[in-house]
A = this chain, B = another copy of it.
Amino acid sequence: MGRLLMSGTVDAECLMVDFAGLRLRNPVLAASGTFGYGLEMQSYVDLEKIGGFVAKSLTLEPRYGNSPPRIAEVSSGMLNSISLENVGVEAFIRQKLPEVPQEALVIASVFGTEIAHYVEACERLSSEDRVAAIEINASCPHVKSGGIEFGQNAQILGKLVGQVRSSTVGTLLVKLSPNVTDIAEMARVCEAEGADGISVINALQALDVDLKERRSVLWNGLGGLSGPAILPVALRMVWQCFQAVSIPICGIGGISSAEDALKFILCGAQAIQVGTANYLNPCSTEAIVGGLLDYCQENRVGSIQDLVGCLQPPRWKVS
């Protein structure tokens, strides 16, 4: 796994960020599950202009997903239960990765229902030069604990991160589940077990009902809530993690504009990921890069990294 150095005269220096051992052209990444394997987005986004993308989460073996309905719209958000559908690690490496333009930064995402599966997938992926980093999706039910997500139990999460760490050569990110009492505790566990960074947050567990059918709108029952509706919860969690750990944070949740991205950066995110907004406008990531550049120029920000965690204390602390 290579640590890519992104360069190019057109890249604005003010947007460059160091993130968990990666040098990113800019802090705008696409979130897993919302950008396919990158290839599908090439008609809409110049992959060399954004910071990078996290590919759809991979399991060791290819998997089919859930039956329809898999998605539904709710107020300022959507529910999904795509579940495990993916081409599998091998096909990703053989068929997808070689097609991705050289200058695009690819982060592979991995999930499984057992720790051993995560480990094996990470081993395989971290031997690939084109994989700049691996993101562990911890919002996956841990089969042995009867459905609880890996990311919902500090002990299980610690074990997962520890074992994956030893099998991963390069940058290791852990994507946290927001369905927890204390996100900071989870962040600390990841740091302690050697993660290079954390991605905060995955979708919130949720449910909506089809009144006519008197049934969940999703085939699978529960689903994940994403989109603008979750932004204030995600911002809170990023801020809490930023207080708790010193490894870098990638902020995720409802980001659809440069303003949204800046809020996450101020709360402590070194980089951000755009998820649902890719569906609303497939050019979102590039548009956000443009918006950040405008902001830096208008506000004379020499390096966007200077803004990370610069949220002023609440008024009651100063007055």
Binding site for B on A (CB under 8 A): 66-67, 74-77, 79, 152-153, 179-182, 204-209, 211, 213-216, 218-222, 225, 227-233, 235-236, 239, 254, 259, 262-263, 266-267, 310-317, 319
Q: Which residues of B contact A239 (CB under 8 A)?
A: 207
Q: A207 contacts B236, CB within 8 Å?
A: yes
Complex CA–CA separation, A299 to B300 (angstroms): 62
CB of A244, distance to nearest CB on chain B (Å): 14
Q: Which residues of B contact A67 (CB under 8 A)?
A: 315-316, 319
24 chain-A/chain-B pairs, Cβ below 8 angstroms: A66-B316, A76-B228, A77-B229, A77-B232, A152-B181, A153-B181, A180-B180, A180-B181, A181-B181, A205-B236, A206-B236, A208-B235, A209-B263, A211-B259, A213-B312, A215-B312, A215-B315, A216-B314, A219-B315, A220-B314, A220-B316, A221-B313, A225-B233, A229-B229
Q: A233 contacts B221, CB within 8 Å?
A: no
Copies of this chain, count:
2
Complex CA–CA separation, A284 to B233 (angstroms): 26
Of all chain B residues, which has the CB nearest A151?
B181
Q: Which residues of B contact A219 (CB under 8 A)?
A: 314-316
Complex CA–CA separation, A233 to B207 (angstroms): 6
Q: B152 contacts A211, CB within 8 Å?
A: no
Q: B152 contacts A209, CB within 8 Å?
A: no
Of all chain B residues, which has the CB nearest A318?
B215
Q: B215 contacts A311, CB within 8 Å?
A: yes
